[in-house]
């Protein structure tokens, strides 16, 4: 068991985890199409953080052309180039699944006052 923990600690990337639930983030995700690679940006609100260690994932939700789109990203994946926080959200829940039933302004998360976003 200690051997598994050791491998997980070696492969973990704590610098990617600088966000929390409710934050609006830009996820730079590497897409491989045949022999070419490109970076695709997925911007949305973090609605869930799941698991721990190397298996940690986070769910990002955005509204695209009036349709809600959610994507689950593994945090320690080499395909996730970087996660950039654009706005810190003020929430009181660990999971924001209630946003799925909301539309328009109701689906917005309040901004945390005094939180600075580095660019």
Annotate 75-89 with b (16+ C-beta within 10 A) or e (fewer).
Answer: bbeeebeebbbeebb
For the stretch 7-43, pLDDT in tens is: 777 766 666 668 999 999 999 999 999 999 999 999 9
Q: Look at residue 108 and tell me if it is in a domain.
A: no
For the stretch 44-80, pLDDT in tens is: 999 999 987 788 899 999 999 988 999 999 988 889 9
Q: Look at residue 89 and tell me if it is in a domain.
A: yes
Q: Look at residue 114 and tell me if it is in a domain.
A: no
Phi, psi of 59, deg, nearest 5 = -110, 130
Confidence of residue 113 (pLDDT cuts 50, 70, 90): confident
Domain that holds residue 95: 2-100
Interval 86-95 mean pLDDT: 93
Q: Look at residue 62 and tell me if it is in a domain.
A: yes
| Total domains, the chain | 1
Q: Look at residue 81 and tell me if it is in a domain.
A: yes
CATH of the domain at 91: 2.30.30.790
Q: Look at residue 57 and tell me if it is in a domain.
A: yes
């Amino acid at each position: 068991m200690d051997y598994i923990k050791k491998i997980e600690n070696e492969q973990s990337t704590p610098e990617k985890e600088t966000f929390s639930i409710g934050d609006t983030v830009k996820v730079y995700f590497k897409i491989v199409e045949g022999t070419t690679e490109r970076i695709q940006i997925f911007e949305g609100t973090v609605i869930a953080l799941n698991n721990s260690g190397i298996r940690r994932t986070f769910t990002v939700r955005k509204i695209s052309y009036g349709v809600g789109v959610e994507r689950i990203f593994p945090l320690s994946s080499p395909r996730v180039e970087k996660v950039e926080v654009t706005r810190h959200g003020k929430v009181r829940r660990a999971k924001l699944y209630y946003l799925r039933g909301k539309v328009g302004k109701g689906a917005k998360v309040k901004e945390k006052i005094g939180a600075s976003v580095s660019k």
